[in-house]
């Protein structure tokens, strides 16, 4: 049994490329050499960012996608028996690697390393049969990580999704880090205090809901507000781009453009060919 680890890196300082790249490189250096190479393959998922990735394989989204979309991306690109989605600022402990391998050998379809399911392990192909409707929701970038990651939970629950550790506690105050015996956050000193705010992603706290502590009706209504706001932004963008679509749409099927000199040269070559057929 082999595992492909997708270390996911998303923009931390979108307006400062140099600072952003340096922090991603720091996190990747922590991952290098921190995994059992004999049965684990390391890949980097650059989710809307770019930085040197050394010997690791790479997947790159040109702009940031939400967590659920990236879970689908990992599943579609996995080349081993299982895949692990691991945020770049998290490190799996030796005990964690042992637990992952044990559950893989038991044939478990999917499991998380903590009650906060940032790091999840799934068998390859687990999302192959999901509906088009769920895929559409997973493609909504504005949902971010807090809301986006729950879109696929129903599919995972059907496959026996569970947490393999009872613990998830704060392990550091400065900086604030969480973890358990299987893995821990490793937030660098320069890590943003709130990535959601840095990337302007919605969270329920923006709507007065802390820790998802609200009735089912309130959560559902708030989720639809967020979706509607996202659709409004897409409609505004479409309004701005409609002229481009109508102008360039028919032109994509035309033959490649040839400049005046190229056309003249072709005519001369043709003329000479006609005069000297041999």
Distant-in-sequence, close-in-space partners of 19: CB < 8 Å, separation ≥ 6: 13, 190
- The residues spanned by each domain of the chain are 3-194, 202-278
Per-position DSSP letters for 182-223, written without gaps between them: SEEE---TTS-S-HHHHTT---GGGGT-STT-S-HHHHHHHH
> What is the CATH code for 3-194?
3.90.550
What tokens were used for 268? 């001369």
pTM: 0.84
Closest by CA position to 106, among listed 114, 118, 98: 98
Residues 39-70 have pLDDT tens digits of: 999 999 999 999 998 778 899 999 888 899 99
Distant-in-sequence, close-in-space partners of 128: CB < 8 Å, separation ≥ 6: 75
> What is the three-class DSSP state of 176?
coil
Residues 141-197 have pLDDT tens digits of: 778 777 888 889 889 999 999 999 988 888 887 777 889 999 999 887 777 766 767
First to last CA, the chain: 66
């Amino acid at each position: 049994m082999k595992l492909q680890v997708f270390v996911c890196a998303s923009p931390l300082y979108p307006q400062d490329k140099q600072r952003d790249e340096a922090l991603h490189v720091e996190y990747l250096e922590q991952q290098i050499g921190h995994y059992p190479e004999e049965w684990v393959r390391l890949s980097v998922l650059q989710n809307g960012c770019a930085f040197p990735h050394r010997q690791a394989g790479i997947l790159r989204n040109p702009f940031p996608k939400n967590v659920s979309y990236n879970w689908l991306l990992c599943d579609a690109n996995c080349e081993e028996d299982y895949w692990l989605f691991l945020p770049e600022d998290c490190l799996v402990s030796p005990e964690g690697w042992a637990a992952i391998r044990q559950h893989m050998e038991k044939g478990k379809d999917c499991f998380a390393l903590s009650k906060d399911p940032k790091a999840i392990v799934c068998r390859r192909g687990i999302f192959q049969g999901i509906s088009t409707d769920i895929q559409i929701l997973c493609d909504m970038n504005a949902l971010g990580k807090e809301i986006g990651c729950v879109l696929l939970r129903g599919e995972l629950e059907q496959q026996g999704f569970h947490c393999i550790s009872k613990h998830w506690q704060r392990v550091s105050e400065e900086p604030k880090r969480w973890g358990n015996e299987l893995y821990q956050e490793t937030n660098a000193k320069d890590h943003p205090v709130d990535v959601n705010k840095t990337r302007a992603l919605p969270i329920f706290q923006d709507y007065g809901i802390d820790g998802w502590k609200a009735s089912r009706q309130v959560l559902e209504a708030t989720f639809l507000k967020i979706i509607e706001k996202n659709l409004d932004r897409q409609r505004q963008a479409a309004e701005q781009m409609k002229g481009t679509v109508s102008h360039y749409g028919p032109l994509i099927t035309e033959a490649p453009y040839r400049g005046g000199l190229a056309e003249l040269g072709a005519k001369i070559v043709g003329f000479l060919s006609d005069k000297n057929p041999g």
